[in-house]
Structure 1
């Protein structure tokens, strides 16, 4: 399998090269040269498979030239070492809980897979790799946790000052040695632009081996395909409707690729907050990025989602608008949904999951069968919001311990020169 750029189909890179480079030099995004199809009978006995077996089956065609079967099996066993429970909310509506990993967010899957791939690639290397990652909330914590013990790799995390929750900030800023946190006086899009400028800086790339741990990296979003198969282990091969809380759209892109491989999805529902550029595109066909709006579902506060490039590379506009229905909701509606679901069904949604729940309710008809909401983060990460609904202590033991640790970050303006000096210094 080779990987091309969304801006240059003639580019041809191996999986290893695409992962290490992170971003093509033309500012496109890497994509696999083709999407392999699963055998027609793959879902006939899916209830008998483990998620690790499925992960191997799904990912092997994308990586086999650079990771042998033994390496890949070891990586997927570690990546999918935590449970992915499916909880009933009401009727035929279920939540697939993706927050039982070390940072309590779905991004543990992609971050762990990426870290383990890079560990294999740099195992014998003399030079170090520097990972650059911009985060609007959950990505940084997952990356910090995944890379904190990986040799020959340094991590620099950029996050918007004052725009992440207390627990999210502690997850970014309490590591030693190879993980450094930059507290940027701007929003997520500012952080992401600093990272993109670094990748396009040929002078910097002569001095440092840099790679990305955002969902722009193929090793971040490809493993996210796997958990879309988890509901089918429980329910069998009947098509499902799946709602995806969406910010940078790497999660939904992974689902679309899984569908192209043969995953029987009836409909994808893109759930957005006030940063509604993609839902508006799905209505009128106009892609019009806007400045980021701060919301209580902060991991989705992205005004110009990078992975939109991948979505329009996979499908033309007509196909996208058929495969995805998009809805956007205000903070007020989000909070009200959290209250209603907890009161009526005793299920505690986080703000992102609440946006997904609202989108499902907006889209679904009574006859639409089983629907799945991707519950992407543990509610404890958003106690400033959750405390308005429940007064109970919902922190897992590990999160309580983390909240007592000292914050270590470097404050920085939105200034590429200052950022570059920090990296090379």
Structure 2
């Protein structure tokens, strides 16, 4: 399989180059040259297949023979060491819980898959791979833990100071070993900009083998299509069209769903639900894409003012607004609306949602009310509520338990390096530190 740059379709590379480069030399994002449709036999067998078997088929469908089949099976098995329950919250409303991995967030899927893929490629070269990861919360913890101790790799996590929860912060600032955390005096967009500028800097490219672990890296997106197949297989017997509502920040998760749809999974519709950082819902109403500085909310992992994967979404629809708007509906919600949904579902349905999942729930309910109620609705619960314990406890007027894995992180000592938003200072740090 070849992968092309969204800025230049004639610039094509193989899987190894796409994954190890992260970002194309022309600052574009890599996309598969084609997304083959899976066979009729595959879909007939889907309800009886194991998660590992269907995930291998999906991964092989995009990757092809760039990775030996046995190695790819090993990588998939390593990735899927935990369940993804589909929980009924109310009639025609299901939560797809993606927080049962080691860092209790959906990004464990992408980080574990990518770490093994890069580890495989690292064995084929002498130079250490330096992974840069900007995070608004969960990416940092998933990437840091996914790559912890992986030979031939070093990770630098950049995060906005004071804008991630304490538990999220502890998950990537207490590890050390091959993990370095930079506490940036700015926003997530500043962190993402620093990472992108680093990839384009010739001095850094000469000295380091740089790549990214954000969802700009195609290796993060491939496994994010897995759980759409797995959840659909458990719901198709209900006999209704299936609609997915995805709480969205950088829009990698919904792009993974679009990949699944392109491979033939009959997803009826997508709902992109955001907090007040609503540039994509606004685009879907006005046809105008206008990035702006991100605003801080209680759903901090979605505080993104210029979502990177928007260009991939456009590519999948041939830059045709009408085609994109036909498959995707966008809604945005305030912190007050988010808290109200969390309280109502907790009191009426006895289900605890984190702020991001609550926005997914709100988007799904709005779609069912305004567009179609004759669907099976699935909203993605992307992180364990305990990762946002302060917000959840205050909102629900209760004290939720902290799972044992998070308790272990909380006991660790935070070790970070203060940083500014100046690229020159960031470049100097990298050149002197490594």
- Please state if 1:278 is matched with 2:280: yes
- Give, in angstroms, the shift of residue 39 of structure 1: 1.6
**DSSP-derived class of the 2:308 partner:** coil
- Give, in angstroms, the shift of residue 53 of structure 1: 0.6
Partner of 2:11: 11
Partner of 2:409: 402
**DSSP-derived class of the 2:421 partner:** coil
- Give, in angstroms, the shift of residue 391 of structure 1: 2.4
Q: Which residue of 396, 420, 423 corresponds with 1:416?
A: 423
Partner of 1:351: 355
**DSSP-derived class of the 2:398 partner:** coil
1:65-104 matches, cutoff 5 A: 65-104=65-104
CA contact (8 A) 2:389 2:400 kept: no
Instruction: Give the alignment's Cα RMSD to 1 decimal.
Output: 1.1
- Please state if 1:340 is matched with 2:344: yes
Higher helix share: 2
- Counterparts of 1:325 and 1:48 in 2: how far apart (Å)? 31
- Counterparts of 2:176 and 2:296 in 1: how far apart (Å)? 30
Of the structure 1 ranges 55-64 and 17-26, higher mean CA displacement relative to structure 2 is found in 55-64
CA contact (8 A) 2:393 2:400 kept: no
CA contact (8 A) 1:312 1:320 kept: yes
Q: Which residue of 323, 329, 342 corresponds with 2:327?
A: 323
- Please state if 1:376 is matched with 2:378: no
- Counterparts of 2:385 and 2:151 in 1: how far apart (Å)? 32
- Give, in angstroms, the shift of residue 291 of structure 1: 0.9
Q: Which residue of 260, 263, 267 corresponds with 1:261?
A: 263
- Counterparts of 1:76 and 1:241 in 2: how far apart (Å)? 26
Aligned residues: 425
CA contact (8 A) 2:149 2:177 kept: no
- Give, in angstroms, the shift of residue 390 of structure 1: 4.7
**DSSP-derived class of the 1:131 partner:** strand
**DSSP-derived class of the 1:45 partner:** helix
TM-score by length of 1: 0.98
1:135-146 matches, cutoff 5 A: 135-146=135-146
CA contact (8 A) 1:43 1:236 kept: no
**DSSP-derived class of the 1:64 partner:** helix
Partner of 1:31: 31
- Give, in angstroms, the shift of residue 41 of structure 1: 4.3
- Counterparts of 1:314 and 1:398 in 2: how far apart (Å)? 38
**DSSP-derived class of the 1:387 partner:** helix
- Counterparts of 1:393 and 1:3 in 2: how far apart (Å)? 44
TM-score by length of 2: 0.96
- Counterparts of 1:242 and 1:178 in 2: how far apart (Å)? 37
1:7-406 matches, cutoff 5 A: 7-236=7-236, 238=239, 239-315=241-317, 316-365=320-369, 367-388=373-394, 389-406=396-413
- Counterparts of 1:272 and 1:183 in 2: how far apart (Å)? 25
CA contact (8 A) 1:89 1:95 kept: yes
- Give, in angstroms, the shift of residue 231 of structure 1: 1.6
- Counterparts of 2:203 and 2:125 in 1: how far apart (Å)? 22
- Counterparts of 1:202 and 1:321 in 2: how far apart (Å)? 39
**Stretches of structure 2 lacking an aligned partner (at least 5 in a row):** none
Q: Deviations over 1:291-329 (max 9, x none)?
A: 100000000000000000101111021111010000000
- Counterparts of 2:107 and 2:430 in 1: how far apart (Å)? 25
CA contact (8 A) 2:38 2:61 kept: no
CA contact (8 A) 1:267 1:324 kept: yes
Runs of 4+ in 1 over 4 A off after TM superposition: none
Of the structure 1 ranges 257-266 and 392-401, higher mean CA displacement relative to structure 2 is found in 392-401
Of the structure 1 ranges 297-306 and 223-232, higher mean CA displacement relative to structure 2 is found in 223-232
- Give, in angstroms, the shift of residue 61 of structure 1: 2.7
Of the structure 1 ranges 85-94 and 35-44, higher mean CA displacement relative to structure 2 is found in 35-44
Q: Deviations over 1:398-422 (max 9, x none)?
A: 1112111100000011111111111
- Counterparts of 2:265 and 2:282 in 1: how far apart (Å)? 26
Q: Deviations over 1:4-53 (max 9, x none)?
A: 00010001100111000000011110000001001234322311101111
- Counterparts of 1:236 and 1:90 in 2: how far apart (Å)? 17
CA contact (8 A) 1:51 1:230 kept: yes
